[in-house]
C-alpha cells in the first residue's frame, strides 16, 4: 500500500512539474524570501500575470 502511494505521489509530482502547476508554489516561496513584507499574489492573480507574459513570447514547439 505504501509503495503504491509513493509511486502515485511521484507520478503526481512529475505531472505537476511537467505542466508547470508547481510553478506557483515556487514563485510564492521566492516572493516571500525576496519581498518579505509585500503580499503574495493569489493563484488567480499569478496565473493572469503568467498568461500575459506567455502572450508576448514565441512558443517553442516542433514537428
Partner 1 sequence: MSTSAVPESALPAPGGPPPRRSRTTPKSILVWTAVALVGATGWAVLALSRDEEISAVWLLMAALGSYAIGYRFYSRFIARRVLEVDDTRATPAERLEDGVDYHPTDKRVLFGHHFAAIAGAGPLVGPVLAAQMGYLPGTIWIIAGVIFGGAVQDMIVLFFSMRRDGKSLGQMARDEIGRVGGAAALIGVFAIMIILLAVLAMVVVNALAESAWGTFSVTMTIPIALFMGFYLRYLRPGRVVETSLIGVALLLLAILGGGWIQDSSLAEHFVWSPETLVFCLVGYGFVASVLPVWMLLAPRDYLSTFMKVGTIALMAVGVAVAAPTLKAESVTEFASTGAGPVFAGSLFPFLFITIACGALSGFHALVSSGTTPKLIQKESQVRMIGYGSMLTESFVAVMALIAACVLEPGLFYAMNSPAALLGPTVETASEAVKGLGFSITPDQLTAAAKAVEEQTLVGRSGGAPTLAVGMSEIFAGVFGGAGMKAFWYHFAIMFEALFILTTVDAGTRVGRFMLQDMLGNVWKPIGRVTWKPGIWITSALVVGAWGYFLYAGVTDPLGGIKQLFPLFGIANQLLAAVALAVTTTMLIKAGKLRWAWVSGIPLVWDVAVTFTAGWQKIFSENPKIGFFAQRDLYADAIDAGKLLPGATNTDDMHTIVLNNTVDGVIMAIFLLLVLIVLVNCAVVCVRALRSSEPLPTTEAPYVESRIDVPEQRDSESLVGARS
Question: What is the C-alpha separation between 57 and 4, in angstroms, rounded?
Answer: 40
Nearer to partner 1, 1 or 51 (CB): 51
Size of the site for partner 1 (CB under 8 A): 34
Summary count for the chain: helices (H), strands (E): 3, 0
| Interface pick for partner 1 out of 3, 5, 19, 36 (rule CB under 8 A) | 19
> What count of other Cβ atoms lies within 10 Å of the Cβ of residue 23?
14
Residues interacting with partner 1, by CB under 8 A?
Answer: 9, 12-24, 26-27, 29-30, 43-44, 46-47, 50-51, 53-56, 58-63
Amino acid at each position: 500500500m505504501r509503495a503504491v502511494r509513493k509511486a502515485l505521489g511521484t507520478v503526481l509530482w512529475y505531472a505537476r512539474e511537467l505542466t508547470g502547476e508547481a510553478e506557483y508554489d515556487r514563485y510564492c516561496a521566492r516572493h516571500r524570501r525576496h519581498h518579505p513584507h509585500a503580499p503574495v499574489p493569489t493563484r488567480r492573480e499569478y496565473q493572469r500575470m503568467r498568461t500575459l507574459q506567455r502572450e508576448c513570447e514565441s512558443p517553442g514547439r516542433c514537428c
